[in-house]
Amino acid sequence: MCAAISIDPVTGRKLFATRAAKSSERIAGKGYSIISDKTLTTLPPPPPGAVFNAGEQRRYREFKEARAGAADYMAMEGQFARYLEDVYSEPPVPRDSLTDECEILVIGAGFGALLLWYRLMQAGFTDVRFCEKGGDVGGTWYWNRYPGIACDVESYSYLPLLEEMGHIPSVKFASGFEILEYCQSMAERFGFYERCLFHTTVQATTWDEASGRWLVETDRGDAMRARFVVLANGILTTPRLARIKGMETFKGEAFHTSRWNYHIDLKDKRVGIIGTGATAVQVVPEIAKVVKELFVFQRTPSSIDVRDQRATTAEEYATWPNEPNWAVNRRERHALISAGRSALQANDDFLSGKIASFKQKKQHERQLSPKELVAAQLNTNFRIMEQIRARVDAIVKDPKTAAALKPYYPYGCKRPTFHDEYLPTFNLPHVHLVDCAPGGVKEINERGVVHNGVEYPLDVLIYATGFEWMGTGSFNMIRGRDGRTLREKWESEGTRTFLGMHSAGFPNLLIMNGPQGGGGQFNFTRVSEMHANYVVWALETVKARGARSVDVTPEAEAAYAQHCAEMDLLSAPLRDCISYYNGDGKAKPGSLAYYGGGERWHKRRMEAQETMAPYVFD
Ligand code: NAP
């Protein structure tokens, strides 16, 4: 047997040492800087009398309609498959293929898997194995290491298991590098590394009815068996490229932001970046500091809100360790904030429990109908967007550039972004916004990007074109009872799950953070916690019943799918733009994320766990 796999003398189980070494010391960076200039860290007030009237509504509609059908993405296949290569770690550690059995096999080694492992351990489940495509833990934070990377949910509420780890993040919005190191510390502390097969991509997961086991096959030649399979492999995991004529001819260097190539030195280079979503907003200010010239190719501007980064204070370092459950309580308070912007701004006094409420709740004279409520929310939302637009005018000096940087859609409709250096970057003489609205970049040649007949020669081209949303790559290779894959089932019947956690015909398969999975708001760590607790409950319930497997009834999932569609339609006016949240305007209602809010999901979960009606035990 190869050194990467050994046997634990106490349990007799296999232990793995497959964590890859780091590929280069150049991979290092930071997130948001702390900015002291108050004009950059406060939003201007909304212009007086700002109302979302018919004229403004028309403007939003036209902005959206002009972009309809422009989104065109492709997978990284064929000659673009090289963009998927792991640039962060040394080649895979050699090991033997495995053909043995474990009780629980988890796909993924990000936040979801780390949290789940901790909960499983607490509940006494130890025959657990993880398979991870990357060379180390971290998931999103393993793959995304671009300059400027930071979390957008305050790190005191976002990082899991802070009390258990005795850790306090160094800043309010931690850099991705700090988060990755934190993941590594969790994995070391909780014995995760010994259970994880790194550089191992699951290629097929097939249910065997006779043995009541999943057969899990990987690209390392493994053919393992497991009673339970848990998908914890993320919802924005598969990078995508914009499909652009001539992109294969480009002779310079090119990569996607989720495989940042630090071997390419950007210093003194002419660099282009396609895309202006949450990633690009963090990347642009950082690379502008080193490149010779930067061209930002934009189809749709993001809303750039205030970040107001700050360091953790001496008082916080001193007091939090003495407050039992400080981070859990903070995360719970964070989950109480229902409006997206407030949650993401994260009022410190409220979150630390110093004040009971940070906002005057608006009292309406009478109970509003759902339609009136949405109209009122859209009005408030419009005023926030007016502030965001006023901020652009206040910061960006060139009026043409400022005009192009102003978004016209409801706040939160596309992923809101935050930065106090992004807008000022466009005042630098070597940074150019290339407004490609409404169609986007349509042509690349061997020298660079061509737009409106103008050629932009580039040394390096960076694709900040995002990821497939809720399209976890594994759905197309999980075969259930009737031989269909999960993707085939969803393509023919529409997305069908119960709570986002089960899908009928796929017994003992549990999905974390997948389509239709709710239980939290804005903070995916809370969703992961809820899902990890649910997985443990399901495993314990199967055990307590002496059952072989758990599945759900088709009726339960049909009713749940209808609920998801209704919730999606109800909140649609607040998400009325073209965004990956709605499959670039093409997704069937209810087929992607759960839009019912945390509490509704929990109500359904609790009902199910009380009545047990949706479940089928074998
Ligand atoms: P994204 O939001 O999907 O952005 C893709 C960008 O590419 C959009 O601006 C899109 O424009 C643009 N694009 C696509 N084709 C184009 C073309 N032909 N020409 C010009 N532009 C084109 O991807 P992302 O920025 O990587 O972010 C993905 C998600 O990852 C975020 O929403 C967030 O959830 C997560 N993320 C989180 C953080 C954080 O927490 N700190 C940071 C980064 C990312 P259109 O808008 O016009 O389609």
Global pTM value: 0.96
Q: What is the mean pLDDT of the chain?
A: 94
User: Residue with the nearest Cα to atom 13 of ligand 1?
Assistant: 275
State in Å: Cα 598 to ligand 1 middle. 25
Residue 297's pLDDT is what? 98
Distance 278 CA to ligand 1 centre (A): 6
Which protein residue's CA is at the shortest distance from atom 3 of ligand 1? 466
Rounded percentage of the chain residues whose pLDDT exceeds 90: 82
Helix, strand or coil, per DSSP, at residue 245:
strand
Q: Is 441 in the pocket of ligand 1 (CB under 6 A)?
A: yes
- For residue 539, how far is its CA from the centre of ligand 1 (angstroms)? 37
CB 379 within 8 A of CB 52: yes
Nearest 5°: phi and psi at 599? -65, -40
Assigned token pair, 351: 């979150």
Please tell me the predicted confidence (pLDDT) of residue 1: 58
* Buried residues in 481-509 as b, exposed as e (16+ CB within 10 A): eeebbbbbbbeeebbbbbbbbbbbbbbbb
The per-residue pLDDT for 443 is 98
Q: How far apart are CA 269 and CA 458, in angstroms?
A: 8
Sequence-ordered list of residues with C-beta below 8 angstroms from that of 123, at least 6 positions apart, any chain: 536, 539, 540
CB 154 within 8 A of CB 312: no
* pLDDT, position 609: 98
**Whose alpha carbon is nearest atom 33 of ligand 1?**
278
Atom in ligand 1 nearest the alpha carbon of residue 578: 48
Taking CA atoms only, the protein residue closest to ligand 1 atom 41 is 151
For ligand 1, say whether the CB of 301 is within 6 Å of any of its atoms: no
Sign, CA torsion 63/67/69/73? negative
Alpha carbon of 280 to ligand 1 centroid (Å): 7
Query: How much of the chain exceeds pLDDT 70, in percent?
Result: 99
SS (H, E, C) 34-79: CCCCHHHHCCCCCCCCCCCCHHHHHHHHHHHHHHCCCCCEECCCHH
Measured CA angle at 207 (ends 201, 211), to 5 deg:
120
Whether the Cβ atoms of residue 449 and residue 174 lie closer than 8 Å to each other: no
For the residues 124-148, what does the mean pLDDT come to?
97
> Which DSSP helix (H) or strand (E) runs through 188?
helix 176-189
Which residue out of 143, 180, 279 has the highest number of ligand 1 atoms within 8 Å of its CB and is therefore the one to mutate? 279
Question: How many whole angstroms separate alpha carbon 313 and alpha carbon 317?
Answer: 6
Phi, psi of 117, deg, nearest 5:
-60, -40
List the residue whose alpha carbon is closest to atom 35 of ligand 1. Answer: 278
**More confidently predicted of 231 and 236:** 231
Q: Say what the pLDDT of residue 64 is.
A: 96
| Cα–Cα distance for residue pair 593/586, rounded to 1 Å | 14
pLDDT value, residue 360: 60
**The dihedral sign for the CA sequence 603, 608, 614, 618:** positive
- The Cα 533–Cα 116 span in angstroms is 8
What's the gap in Å between 458 CA and the centre of ligand 1?
21
Residues in the chain: 618
pLDDT of residue 370: 76
pLDDT digits (tens, 9 = 90+) for 495-537: 999 999 999 999 999 999 999 998 877 888 999 999 999 999 9
pLDDT at 581: 83
Q: Is the pLDDT of residue 372 over 90?
A: no
Q: How confident is the model at residue 362 (pLDDT cuts 50, 70, 90)?
A: low
pLDDT reported for residue 151: 96
pLDDT at 18 over 70: yes
Q: Is 155 helix (H, G, I), strand (E, B) or coil?
A: helix
- pLDDT-derived band at 194, boundaries 50, 70, 90: very high
Q: For residue 206, give the amino acid letter.
A: T
Q: Would you give the DSSP letter of residue 22?
A: B
The yes-or-no verdict on residue 361 having pLDDT over 70 is no
Q: Looking at ligand 1, which residue's alpha carbon is closest to its atom 37?
A: 278
Q: Which atom of ligand 1 is nearest to the CA of 258?
A: 26
The string over 444-463, giving b where at least 16 C-beta atoms fall within 10 Å of a residue's C-beta and e elsewhere, is beeebbbbeeeebebbbbbb
Per-residue pLDDT reduced to its tens digit, 113-126? 999 999 999 999 99
Q: What is the mean pLDDT of residues 80-102?
A: 97
**Mean per-residue pLDDT for 74-90?**
95
Q: CB of 244 closer than 6 A to ligand 1?
A: yes
Compare 614 and 236 and report the one with higher pLDDT. 614
pLDDT of 542-589, one tens digit each?
Answer: 999 999 999 999 999 999 999 999 999 988 888 888 888 888 888 899
CA of 464 to the centre of ligand 1 (A): 6
> Would the CB of 466 count as within 6 Å of ligand 1?
yes
Torsion, Cα 442 445 447 448, to 10 degrees, reads 10
> Does residue 363 carry a pLDDT above 70?
no
Evaluate: CB of 152 within 6 angstroms of ligand 1. yes
Nearest-atom index, ligand 1, CA of 584: 48
What is the number of other CB atoms lying within 10 angstroms of the CB of residue 84?
17
- Supply the residue whose CA is at minimum distance from atom 32 of ligand 1: 415
Structure confidence at residue 469 (pLDDT): 83
The beta strand positions in 53-179, using DSSP E, are 73-74, 101-107, 128-131
